[in-house]
Structure 1
């Protein structure tokens, strides 16, 4: 079972905006470019890069997506902060 993961994310307030960003990613848009443009999280300035973190360090829905979801496939996650488009880079 993985104990650490690394991920990129884009945080927005509304589901329809998150879905639109996800569509753009599926059409080939660059994740980091969209993060810099749309994310309301401070990590947006770094292209959405959260670096490496441990299991349990993030809020539960985000943590579950990072440790159980697909790697390298952007996915939508709802948390108390808003809507995240999460792209897990790897798990160790």
Structure 2
């Protein structure tokens, strides 16, 4: 059975902006509201929701963070060719 996960993310251009967003999240800000406001990914319309995906479907650094990081806790910044991600893993089967 393929390893699958579901996650939200916020994609920004700079590490500084990602760290600022992570700080806001740690202070209790709403992940989906920040995604709608700051993310450069089309998923921002859904509050950063990427839905369910298989291991290996995403960029390697993103994939590693999703399948090894804590659940329901903002992870990041994670750098990929697209920019810097803050990730919230909703669930996974591994």
Evaluate the alpha carbon distance shift between residue 2 and residue 66 of structure 1 in structure 2; reply closer, same or farther with a 3 A threshold.
farther
Unaligned runs of 5+ in 2: none
TM-score (norm 1): 0.97
Q: Does 1:89 align with 2:90?
A: yes
Mapping for residues 13-92 of structure 1, pairs under 5 Å:
13-76=13-76, 77-92=78-93
Q: Distance in 2 between matches of 1:35 and 1:7?
A: 12
Return structure 1 stretches of 4+ with deviation > 4 angstroms: none
Shift of 1:2: 7.0
Q: Residues 45-69 of structure 1, C-alpha deviation per residue, up to 9 Å, x if partnerless?
A: 1000000000000010000000011
Q: Distance in 2 between matches of 1:4 and 1:44?
A: 21
Q: Distance in 1 between matches of 2:56 and 2:62?
A: 9
TM-score (norm 2): 0.95
Q: Distance in 2 between matches of 1:25 and 1:73?
A: 9
Unaligned runs of 5+ in 1: none
Shift of 1:40: 0.1
Q: Secondary structure at the match of 2:67?
A: helix
Q: Distance in 1 between matches of 2:55 and 2:81?
A: 18
CA RMSD across the alignment: 1.2
